[in-house]
Amino acid sequence: MTHTVLNSMRFGYTLIEASVVLVILGITAILLVPHLGNQGDTELQGAARQLVADISWAQCDAVASQEYRRLHFYADGRGWCLLDITDSTFANSFDAATAVFAEDPWRTRRGGGDFIVDFPNDDRYVSVTVSDITTAEGGRDLTFDRLGGTVSAPGLGAGAASVTLSDGTDSWQVDIAPVTGRVAVSRAE
């Protein structure tokens, strides 16, 4: 009797059960591996979306406050900041010690109030840099007037601008149209 009970108990999986498990694991790997290997591109796309959102915010905030707003891109490529600009400070070069940073309404950036995007200090974008910025005026700034348009001086419309974000492998380019500030995003060649 004992021998019959032991023969009827199974110790392991059948070949069919093991095959089904392997097929499920294979399908899961096929679906997940491309996404895991492409994490850097996800960071880069997220940074591009953040830039587009910040450009839109700068335009909207300039219109809402009826003041100039300027996105300044740091020379070392670590990110950008949003500044409050007046007619008297319009021509001033960027100086972090004297700059009047716009307030971050979400209080999510460094300092809990200053509108600063600093990639090395943001876990979401550690591999991303601003690899290039091109403006018609040759500077590192993008300024919006009280109507949300781009300007190079009070009352003078600005030319086109382009910002390239890179993670060392891929790049995304954010183009800003002259005067209107319309934004377009594309993968850089």
For 157-166, the pLDDT digits (tens) are 999 999 999 9
Determine, yes or no, domain membership for 7: no
Helices (H), 9-91: 15-37, 39-65
| pLDDT at residue 3 greater than cutoff 70 | no
SS (H, E, C) 103-114: ECCCCCCHHHCE
Distance between CA atoms of 138 and 184, rounded to whole angstroms? 20
Q: According to the per-residue pLDDT averaged within each range, which of 37-46, 80-89, 102-111 is highest?
A: 80-89
Determine, yes or no, domain membership for 25: no
- Res 41: pLDDT: 72
Distance between CA atoms of 101 and 147, rounded to whole angstroms? 20
Distance between CA atoms of 36 and 120, rounded to whole angstroms? 21
Number of domains in the chain: 1
Mean pLDDT score, 33-58: 79
Determine, yes or no, domain membership for 126: yes
Distance between CA atoms of 161 and 53, rounded to whole angstroms? 16
| pLDDT at residue 133 greater than cutoff 90 | yes
Determine, yes or no, domain membership for 78: yes
Determine, yes or no, domain membership for 22: no
Distance between CA atoms of 101 and 79, rounded to whole angstroms? 14
Q: What is the band of 33 on the pLDDT scale with cuts at 50, 70, 90?
A: low
| pLDDT at residue 10 greater than cutoff 90 | no
Higher pLDDT, residue 95 or 21: 95
- Res 84: pLDDT: 95
- Res 136: pLDDT: 87
Q: What is the band of 53 on the pLDDT scale with cuts at 50, 70, 90?
A: very high
CATH of the domain at 83: 3.55.40.10
pTM check: above 0.85: no
Determine, yes or no, domain membership for 45: yes
| pLDDT at residue 152 greater than cutoff 80 | yes
The percentage of the chain sitting over the pLDDT mark of 70, rounded to a whole number, equals: 84
Q: What is the band of 99 on the pLDDT scale with cuts at 50, 70, 90?
A: very high
Determine, yes or no, domain membership for 140: yes
- Res 2: pLDDT: 55
| pLDDT at residue 4 greater than cutoff 70 | no
What is the domain range of residue 116? 37-187
Determine, yes or no, domain membership for 142: yes
What does pLDDT average to over the chain?
Answer: 85
Distance between CA atoms of 163 and 183, rounded to whole angstroms? 11
Contact assessment for residue 81 and residue 114, using Cβ atoms and an 8 Å cutoff: yes
Output phi, psi for 183, to 5 deg.
-110, 135
